[in-house]
Structure 1
C-alpha cells in the first residue's frame, strides 16, 4: 500500500501543563507515520515559562522523529533549538527567521486565503505555506480574514513544490475534501484535544487513507 499523501500537523492546545505530555505521547503513538509535526502554540506567556513547558514536549517529539515547531516566536524557537518556527503575517520574514535559526530549520508562514502572500512566502524561502481557516475555529482569529476554498490547495499543489498546510476547524468529518484537493498536511488541534486524542487521531488516519 502506498504512503498516504497527506500527513497530520498537530497543534497544541493553549494549556499544555498537567497531563498534557502523556496525552501528546498517546496521540503521537496512535499517529505513528502520519503525525509528522507538532506545533507548540501557547499565547501570552513569559518566554522562560513557555520554555519550561515546551522542553518535555520537545523531548517526546524527538523520541518519535516528529518535528517540533514553535508558533510565532523566533526567539523561543532559537532558545529551544526547535526544528522550526511558524510565522503569522505579523511575525517577521522567513529570510530573517532562517538567518536566526539556521539552514536546517523549518519555516512556515500563514497565508490565509491569499495566493499572493503564499507566493511571497515561497520566494522568501518558506518551507511550507498554510492556508486557512477553512472552517470555524477556536484557535484561529476570525477577524475579517477571507475564508479560503478548496481551489487554492489544488492551485498551489499543481504549480509549486513547497508543501501546503490546511488549517482551521478541521475535523475527521470535514477533512476528506481537503485530502482529495491535495493538502500536504492537515493542521488539527481542537478536534484532537477536545475529546479522546487516540480516537480522534485514528479517525483522521482512516479518512486520509481512504481518500489518498
Structure 2
C-alpha cells in the first residue's frame, strides 16, 4: 500500500457514504438561517456529505455559516447515528480553522498548498469537468474525491464547462477509481436523473437546487438517495 493510500484522508474517503452529497445554496434557501435547516433536513433524507458553498458572503459571514452548518451536522449525525462529513467550498483557510474538509475548483490554490493548510486528515475534493483536469488532480496526488461535471446543464452554475453526459461521466469515474479516488457527479442531478447517474458507476450524487430550492428538502433528499442507491451497479 502506498503512502498516499495510507493517508488518513484517503482512508476516510474510502469509508465515507457518498451516495447523497448536498451542496448548499444560500440564495435558493432564502438566507443563512434556512441553509442550516436545509442541512438538517437533507441529513434526515439520507445525505451523509454536506458542502457549504456561497460565492458572495464575505469571509466573516461565511465562517459563521460554515461553523453553524458543521455544528448542525454534528448534532444531527449524533441524533441519527451516522457520520456526516462537512466540506467547505474554496475557502481553504476557513476549512483549516474549523477543522473541516475542503473542495476546490480548477485554478484555485495549488493542491500541495491546500494539503499543507488542512493537514493529512482532512479530505480534499477537486472539481473536474474534463479528462485533463482529472489527470492533473491524479498527478498532484493530494485529492481524495473528484467532483465530475456538469453531467447536464444546470442553472446554479452558468459558467460551467460543456456537459459530460452519462458516457463522459462513466469514463471519468472509471479513471478516478483506477487512481484510487472517489468520484461524485454534479450538474442536473435530481430524483429523476439519479438512477442514470448511479448507473455510470460514480460513488455519489451531488445535489444543489433540487434540495435547496425545494419546499420539502428532506423528502427530495430521500427520493434522490433511494433512486441512486437502488440503481448502483452490483459489484
Tell me the TM-score normalized by structure 1. Answer: 0.88
Q: Distance in 1 between matches of 2:203 and 2:138?
A: 15
CA deviation after TM superposition for structure 1 residue 98, in Å: 0.5
SS in 1 for 2:103: strand
5+ residue gaps, structure 2: 1-16, 78-82
- 1:63-107 Cα distance to aligned partner (Å, 9 max, x none): 31211101011112122221x111111211222101111001111
Mapping 1:19-168, distance limit 5 Å = 19-31=34-46, 35-63=47-75, 64=77, 65-82=83-100, 84-112=101-129, 114-124=130-140, 125-142=142-159, 145-159=161-175, 160=178, 161-168=180-187
TM-superposed deviation, 1:164? 0.9
Q: Choose the corresponding residue for 1:197, options 217, 222, 225.
A: 217
Match of 1:209 among 214, 225, 229: 229
- Determine if contact 1:39/1:71 at 8 Å carries over to the other structure: yes
1:6 CA displacement: 5.9
Judged with a 3 Å threshold, the aligned counterparts in structure 2 of structure 1 residues 19 and 110 are, in CA distance, closer, same or farther, namely closer
1:173 paired residue number:
192
Shift of 1:184: 0.8
8 Å CA contact 1:164, 1:183 repeated in 2: yes
**Displacement, 1:180?**
0.6
Aligned residues: 202
| 8 Å Cα contact 2:42/2:221 also seen in 1 | yes
Q: Where does structure 1 lack aligned partners over 5 or more consecutive residues?
A: none
Greater strand share, structure number: 1
- Higher share of residues assigned helix: 2
Contact between 2:25 and 2:212, CA under 8 Å: does it hold in 1? yes
| 1:90-128 per-position Cα deviation (integer Å, ceiling 9, x unaligned) | 21122210111100111111111x112102102212111
* In 1, Cα distance between equivalents of 2:38 and 2:169: 31
Moved over 3 A (4+): 156-159
